[in-house]
């Protein structure tokens, strides 16, 4: 894998790092492609339960790298080599964005595709697109209004103003703001808790239902949840979860996302 993206797995957590610190991790076609490949790799690996995505150096991502003009927005490959490429919202596992520093343009629209965001208090966050003659991308006009409300989303996207990490957390765009030096540790702590205490299959299904809930009605969701719970109750992890609780021990999960989740969701 290219060194513009680093990948490692520790304690069932895959850590994916944008690795262009000399350019504040500015977005390129190569970086986009390698990130999607890393996400595809983590999604397919049953040794991974949770994913954390962060940036090397003092920024998460300072936006598109415009040094080469429009080519900074273009993918580096055709994507037809057979390797899975995924955006965070498409993954079958929870994804935490550890926004360790400045997040501008795609540097914030990309982590909005993740499930949880932890941001550096001192980070500068900006939907800068309208000030550059373009518009926010990556589903921003669906995701942001549903996350923080229409009026706040309109103010954020239509002014393109700079916000601090503290403000971002205050309006609900991120779960919490902590000092930059603590962002990755906080994200990894949360990821390890999820990877240890929660069933991988339950994590996967709950994530998928929340994303489906962006466009679902309540009655449809009640029905879908009921069918899934009925199936899960007959699987080994449901028995293990209850047993571990009463025996006051860590659960030993046996379910594999690659073997069960797609089948369950298709029912």
For residue 56, the 8-state DSSP code is: S
pLDDT of residue 67: 74
pLDDT of residue 2: 61
Give me the residue label for tokens 């894998």: 1
Beta strands in 127-259 (DSSP E): 162-164, 176-178
pLDDT of residue 79: 65
| CA–CA dist 97, 95 (Å, integer) | 7
For residue 224, the 8-state DSSP code is: H
Phi, psi of 178, rounded to the nearest 5 degrees: -135, 165
| Mean pLDDT of the 142-162 span | 98
Q: Confirm whether pTM is higher than 0.75.
A: yes
Domains and CATH numbers, the chain: 5-195 (3.90.226.10), 199-265 (1.10.12.10)
pLDDT in tens, 62-103: 999 987 555 555 555 556 788 999 999 999 999 999 999 999
Question: Residue 266 — pLDDT band, cuts 50, 70, 90?
Answer: very high
């Amino acid at each position: 894998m290219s060194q513009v993206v680093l990948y490692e797995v520790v304690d069932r957590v895959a850590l994916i790092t944008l690795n262009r610190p000399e350019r504040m991790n500015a977005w390129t076609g190569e970086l986009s492609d390698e990130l999607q490949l890393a996400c595809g790799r983590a999604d397919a690996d049953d040794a991974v339960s949770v994913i954390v995505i962060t940036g090397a150096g003092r920024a998460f991502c300072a936006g598109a790298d415009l040094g080469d003009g429009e080519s900074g927005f273009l993918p580096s490959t055709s994507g037809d080599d057979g390797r899975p490429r995924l955006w965070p919202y498409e993954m079958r596992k929870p994804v935490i964005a550890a926004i360790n520093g400045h997040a501008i343009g795609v540097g914030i629209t990309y982590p909005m595709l993740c499930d949880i965001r932890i941001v550096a208090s001192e980070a500068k966050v900006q939907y800068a697109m309208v000030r550059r003659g373009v518009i926010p991308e990556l589903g921003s006009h669906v995701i942001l209004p549903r996350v923080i409300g229409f009026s706040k989303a309109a103010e954020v996207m239509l002014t393109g103003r700079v916000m601090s990490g503290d403000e971002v957390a205050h309006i609900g765009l991120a779960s919490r703001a902590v000092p930059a030096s603590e962002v990755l540790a906080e994200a990894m702590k949360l990821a390890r808790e999820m990877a240890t205490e929660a069933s991988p299959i339950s994590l996967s299904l709950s994530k998928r239902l929340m994303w489906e809930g962006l466009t679902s009605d309540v009655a449809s969701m009640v029905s879908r949840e009921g069918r899934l719970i009925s199936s899960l109750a007959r699987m080994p992890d449901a028995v293990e979860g209850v047993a571990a609780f009463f025996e006051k021990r860590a659960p030993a999960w046996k379910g594999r996302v690659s073997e069960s989740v797609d089948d369950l969701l298709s029912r």
